[in-house]
Amino acid sequence: MIFAPSLLGANLLNLGEEVRRVESWGAEWIHFDQMDGHFVPNISFGPAFVAAVRKHTKLFLDVHLMLSRPMDYIDAFADAGADGITVHAEAEEPEEVLRKIHDRGLKAGICVNPGTPASALKPLLPLADLALIMTVQPGFGGQKMRPECLEKAAEICAMAKEAGKSVLIEADGGINAENAGQVLAAGVDVLVMGTGLFRAADPAGIMAAIRGSRA
């Protein structure tokens, strides 16, 4: 199990301290939500933000691009120090972008929105290391998880197996202490959590409880 706290939920006035907090909780990854105001109705961060965090941590930097034209930004995020980049199946030229991410020596992820069937990933899984299932409509943190999206995890695993691939399954949106067990039971390996950790009174306790529930 991998925890990927989403900095969208962090106190951005205190970024250095928030990165130290994530490390102190024992999280493995840090998740970045990059939005372009076109693919989603919100704007966030940018490569300089990833570069700033890179200077403060060795954790795996998991960059989720909610951009219509991700190809234009792969080099910028790779240069900023991303370890993995995930792009949407609904965005432009996903196959070429996944190849480009690998060309840059990074882990490549492919993401589906709630309204996109898992079958859309079939031609893309052979090019990916990770599949990201959105459990909310992307754009904003703090939304309620849509549990029906979790059914895609089993479908994706079956398609990957058929293609002779092994991919990590990540879920993103509305995951919290109460529903994390359900997410893991569906076959998810990587939990993205924004408000569910950053706005909680005891994030380390929540992470320990979730890990304990699977031990």
x/- site string to ligand DX5, residues 80 to 119, per CB under 6 A? Answer: ----------------------------------------
Query: Residue 29 CB: number of other CB atoms within 10 A?
Result: 21
Among 18, 36, 170, 172, binds ligand DX5 (CB under 6 A): 172
| The two three-digit tokens of residue 193, written as one number | 């959590």
Residues 40-79 touching Zn ion, rule: CB under 5 A, are 64
Which residue in the list 129, 172, 189, 202 is annotated as catalytic? Answer: 172
Q: How far is the CB of 163 from ligand DX5 (least distance, A)?
A: 26
Going by their DSSP bridges, the two strands 168-172 and 190-193 should be labelled as parallel
- Residue matched to tokens 């492919």: 110
Closer by beta carbon to ligand DX5, 134 or else 159: 134
Q: Computed over its alpha carbons, how large is the radius of gyration of the chain?
A: 16
Q: How far apart are CA 23 and CA 111, in angstroms?
A: 26
- The region of 3-11, 54-62, 84-92, 149-157 touching ligand DX5 under the rule CB under 6 A is 3-11
Q: What are phi and psi of 14, to 5 degrees?
A: -135, 50
Residues 56-85 close enough to bind ligand DX5 by CB under 6 A: 64
Asked if 143 is part of the footprint of ligand DX5 (rule: CB under 6 A), the reply reads yes
Shortest spacing between CB 134 and ligand DX5, in angstroms: 7
Total H helices, total E strands in the chain: 8, 8
Contact by Cβ (8 Å): 16, 202: no
Residue 44 in contact with ligand DX5, rule: CB under 6 A:
no
Give the side-chain half-sphere CA count within 13 A for 174.
Answer: 19
Q: Is 129 in the site for Zn ion (CB under 5 A)?
A: no
Q: Which CB, 143 or 165, lies closer to ligand DX5?
A: 143
CB 67 within 8 A of CB 74: no
Which positions ≥6 away from 56 have C-beta within 8 Å? Answer: 16, 19, 20
Which listed residue (33, 36, 62, 129) is catalytic?
33
Least distance to ligand DX5 from the beta carbon of 191, Å? 9
Q: Of the two residues 25 and 140, which places its CB atom closer to Zn ion in the complex?
A: 140
Site of interaction with ligand DX5 (CB under 6 A): 6, 8-9, 31, 33, 64, 136, 138-143, 172-175, 192-196
